[in-house]
């Protein structure tokens, strides 16, 4: 993602704002000349009406142009930051999981919010201010040279040293700003880490340790932030020293020359006004350079985030599938950055209808199978087919519309029950919603909530019990009306009665589509038409419960471990 290219899309508005700023600077530069003319008119006993009206007109024009300039640049800045955030958010949401998970969430958040705001300043306000301030400075110098070249040389000598110091400070600001951005990201990552596991932190009595750790990172961000503030604060005084020195010399020498008749009082007045007018643009010029340097660091950080690998959406139009069974053909997979092979030449089939269960010890790759079907990850080798067609050739939207996935964490989002329920099917009818709730045995639960389907849930579904959240995630998958339902430990948090009811629902669903279930609780899968046993990265056996219990030692040990009394 090229941030500069995004900014170029708003060149017209940026140029308009910059031109308005330059025009306003021109109106400002004309004001000392008019004031000088007023002094000459007073000295010559001439009418003041014309100069006064012209001065009022210049003041009004300057104010109007400054307002228009600020609005145009501000609007352009908001447009630019919107386009950056819109583009970046789309890339984040469509990124490959293996690429995204290399990043800390706090760092991603900081880049999306803080760095984009700094980039807006760099790409709009800072650039426009550099142009208008430079015009103001150069124009002021030209007008001062027109009034008195000797005084100008003296003035530039005093201001030159201050300008060099300010430029060096601006470079230091950029270097320290990069450090501050990194420190802020580290603080954000640590904060999200502990807040995401707050119950564990409390249960482990680790509040003090975690607070100390987060506070240490906050202090580090504070220290680097103070260094940025200190260096930025020195820019204005550096220019003020040069200006005050120049003003002292101009007043002393200028008054001496007026006394001897070498310089007109009106010219000295205009020259001093230009000197006063020069101070603010000079300060703004170097502050804008510092802002631009800070923004460049943020732009680099945004560009890094924009390099996330994107999911391959496949062809543009849906492909007709005559059936919806699944087959794995010598599929191997290892997570990126990990040499351990999770699946090694795995082959099996899942019929178009019926319940297929996947069992095995922890780490056997059961959840990985589901993630490969959803194309959250791509196989290292081998092929996964749906209806005989390689799923890599299916449009991603079509594939995921055919697959309902309930993960181990049964993830819910902050929002209402209705919003969570219809997340994959926003156009679902009231009848379809009621049917899904009934199949997941949530009808009575929802009726008992304060606002029913419109009850607000907290982070990760706070407000419902673990079992209720799990059933809501299942109802969400069913509402999608998928042809394949993937249940990853879907009954882990259900009580015996709810599990029995859900088994009845699964039996009904399995008559119309394929249901693939991962379950440690064998009571859920004993009636499965097919059970696949994964172990050691491969398929150790497959068959019915009776066949495997009689002929596979691993399956029998897993089943008997649950049957043993506590």
Rounded Cα–Cα distance for residues 274 and 284 (Å): 16
In terms of domains, do 411 and 535 share one?
Answer: yes
Give the number of domains in the chain: 2
pLDDT over 70 percentage in the chain: 92
The closest of 177, 182, 180, 206 to 193, measured between CA atoms, is 206
Nearest in space to 537 (alpha carbons), one of 383, 340, 358, 381: 340
In a domain, 316, yes or no: no
Q: Verify that 259 and 358 share a domain, yes or no.
A: no
- Please, are residues 384 and 324 in contact by the beta-carbon 8 Å criterion? no
Separation in Å, CA 245 to CA 154, 169, 266, 276: 10, 20, 22, 12
Q: Is the Cβ–Cβ distance between 1 and 88 less than 8 Å? A: yes
341, 240: one domain: no
403 and 277 in a single domain? The answer is: no
Do 367 and 219 reside in the same domain of the chain? no
97 & 152 share domain: yes
- Among 272, 305, 338, identify where a domain stops: 305
User: Cα(309)–Cα(91) distance, rounded to whole angstroms?
Assistant: 8
Sheet of 326-333, strand order: 343-350, 326-333, 381-386, 389-390
Q: Is residue 317 part of a domain?
A: no
Judge if 436 and 297 occupy the same domain: no
The mean pLDDT of 130-156, rounded to a whole number, is 85
Query: Which of 386-398 are b and which e, b meaning 16 or more Cβ less than 10 Å from the residue's Cβ?
Result: bbeeebeebebeb
Residues 537, 405, single domain; the answer is yes
Question: Is residue 211, in this structure, part of any structural domain at all?
Answer: yes
**Which structural domain, as residue segments, surrounds residue 101?**
3-305
Give the phi and the psi of residue 404 in degrees, each rounded to 5: -100, 125
Q: Does 362 share its domain with 475?
A: yes
Beta strands 326-333 and 381-386, pairing class: antiparallel
The domain that contains 62 carries what CATH number? 1.20.1560.10
pLDDT band at 157 (very low <50, low <70, confident <90, very high): confident
Exposure string of 42-81, with b = 16+ CB inside 10 Å and e = fewer, is: eeeeeeeeebeebbeebeebbeebbebbbebbebbbebbb
Q: Does the pLDDT of residue 314 top 70, yes or no?
A: no
Task: Classify residue 84: in a domain, yes or no.
Answer: yes
Residue labelled with tokens 């009776």? 546
Residues 11 and 135 in one domain: yes
Q: Give, as one character, the DSSP assignment of residue 565.
A: -
10 Å CB burial of residue 297 (0-12, 13-18, 19+) is buried
Least confident of 3-12, 284-293, 437-446: 284-293
Residue 318 resides in a domain: no
Comparing 187-196, 252-261, 532-541, the range with the smallest average pLDDT is 187-196
Question: Rounded to an integer, what distance in angstroms lies between the CA atom of residue 10 and that of residue 384?
Answer: 45
Residue 109 CB contacts under 8 Å (≥ 6 apart), including other chains: 188, 192
Residue 326's beta-bridge partner residues? 350, 386
Residues 6+ apart with CB under 8 A from 168: none
| φ/ψ (deg, to 5) at 310 | -100, 150
Residues 377 and 262 in one domain: no
CATH of the domain at 554: 3.40.50.300
DSSP H helices, 234-331, are: 235-260, 265-305
Pairing of strands 484-488, 514-518: parallel
Q: Are residues 301 and 411 in the same domain?
A: no
Q: What is the pLDDT of residue 145?
A: 86
Least confident of 28-42, 311-325, 530-544, 548-562: 311-325
pLDDT tops 60 at residue 564: no
Task: State the average pLDDT over residues 108-136.
Answer: 84
C-alpha to C-alpha distance for 476 and 434, rounded to whole angstroms: 11
Residue 6: φ, ψ to 5°: -60, -45
Residue-level pLDDT at 566 = 42
CA dihedral 317, 323, 324, 326 (to 10 degrees): -110
The tens digit of pLDDT for each residue in 482-503 reads 888 888 876 666 667 667 767 7
Q: Going by DSSP bridges, is the β-strand pair 415-416/456-457 parallel, antiparallel, or unpaired?
A: antiparallel
Please name every residue paired with 356 in a beta bridge, in sequence order, or none if there are none: 516, 530
Edge-to-edge strand ranges of the sheet holding 484-488: 403-406, 484-488, 514-518, 354-359, 530-535, 538-543
Counted residue by residue, the chain has a size of: 566
- The 3-class SS string of 405-454 reads EECCCCCCCCEEHHHHHCCCCCCCCHHHHHHHHHHCCCHHHHHHCCCHHH
Domain endpoint, select from 249, 276, 305: 305
The string of pLDDT tens digits covering residues 65-98 is 989 988 998 888 888 888 888 888 888 888 887 7
In a domain, 321, yes or no: no
Which of 270, 305, 340 is at the close of a domain?
Answer: 305
The yes-or-no verdict on residue 224 having pLDDT over 80 is yes
Residue 315 domain-assigned? no
Residue 319 lies in a domain: no
> Which of 129, 96, 121, 186 lies closest to 371, judged by CA?
96
């Amino acid at each position: 993602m090229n941030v500069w290219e995004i900014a170029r899309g708003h060149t017209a508005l940026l140029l308009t704002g910059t031109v308005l700023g330059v025009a306003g600077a021109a109106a400002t530069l004309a004001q000392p000349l008019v004031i000088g003319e007023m002094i000459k008119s007073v000295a010559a006993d001439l009418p003041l009406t014309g100069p006064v009206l012209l001065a009022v007109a210049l003041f009004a024009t300057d104010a109007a142009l400054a307002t228009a300039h600020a609005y145009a640049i501000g609007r352009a800045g908001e447009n630019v930051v919107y386009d950056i955030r819109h583009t970046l958010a789309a890339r984040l949401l469509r990124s490959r999981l293996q690429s995204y998970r290399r990043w800390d969430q706090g760092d991603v958040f900081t880049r999306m919010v803080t760095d984009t705001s700094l980039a807006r300043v760099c790409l709009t306000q800072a650039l426009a201010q550099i142009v208008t301030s430079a015009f103001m400075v150069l124009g002021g110098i030209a007008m001062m040279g027109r009034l008195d070249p000797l005084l100008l040389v003296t003035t530039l000598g005093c201001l030159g040293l201050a300008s060099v110091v300010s430029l060096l400070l601006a470079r230091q600001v950029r270097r320290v700003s990069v450090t501050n951005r990194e420190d802020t990201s580290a603080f954000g990552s640590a904060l999200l880490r502990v807040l995401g596991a707050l119950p564990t932190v409390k249960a482990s009595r680790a509040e003090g340790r975690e607070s100390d750790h987060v506070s240490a990172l906050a202090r580090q961000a504070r220290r680097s932030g103070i260094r940025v503030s200190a260096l930025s604060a020195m820019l204005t005084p550096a220019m003020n020293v040069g200006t005050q020195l120049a003003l002292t010399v101009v007043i002393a020498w200028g008054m001496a020359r007026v006394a001897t008749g070498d310089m007109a009082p009106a010219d000295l007045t205009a020259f001093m006004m230009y000197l006063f007018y020069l101070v603010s643009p000079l300060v703004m010029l170097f502050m804008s350079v510092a802002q631009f340097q800070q923004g460049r660091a943020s732009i680099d950080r945004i560009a890094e985030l924009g390099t996330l690998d994107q999911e391959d959406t496949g062809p543009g139009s849906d492909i007709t599938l005559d059936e919806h069974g699944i087959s794995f053909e010598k599929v191997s997979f290892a997570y990126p950055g990990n040499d351990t092979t999770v699946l090694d030449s795995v082959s099996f089939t899942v019929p178009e209808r019926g319940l297929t269960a996947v069992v095995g010890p922890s780490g056997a790759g059961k959840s990985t199978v589901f993630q490969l079907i959803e194309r959250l990850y791509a196989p290292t080798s081998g092929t996964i087919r749906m209806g005989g067609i390689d799923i890599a050739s299916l449009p991603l939207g079509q594939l995921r519309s055919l697959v309902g996935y309930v993960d181990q964490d049964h993830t819910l989002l902050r929002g209402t029950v209705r919003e969570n329920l219809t997340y994959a099917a926003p156009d679902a009818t009231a009848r379809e919603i009621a049917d899904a709730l009934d199949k997941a045995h949530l009808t009575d639960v929802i009726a008992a909530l304060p606002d029913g389907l419109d009850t607000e849930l907290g982070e990760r579904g706070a407000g419902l019990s673990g079992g209720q959240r799990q059933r809501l995630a299942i109802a969400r998958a069913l509402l999608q009306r998928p042809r394949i339902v993937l249940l990853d430990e879907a009954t882990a948090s259900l009580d015996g009665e709810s599990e029995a009811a859900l088994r009845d629902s699964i039996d009904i669903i399995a008559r119309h589509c394929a249901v693939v279930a991962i379950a440690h609780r064998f009571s859920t899968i004993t009636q499965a038409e097919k059970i696949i046993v994964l172990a050691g990265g491969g398929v150790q056996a497959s068959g019915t419960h009776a066949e495997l219990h009689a002929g596979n030692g691993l399956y029998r040990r897993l089943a008997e471990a649950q049957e043993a009394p506590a």
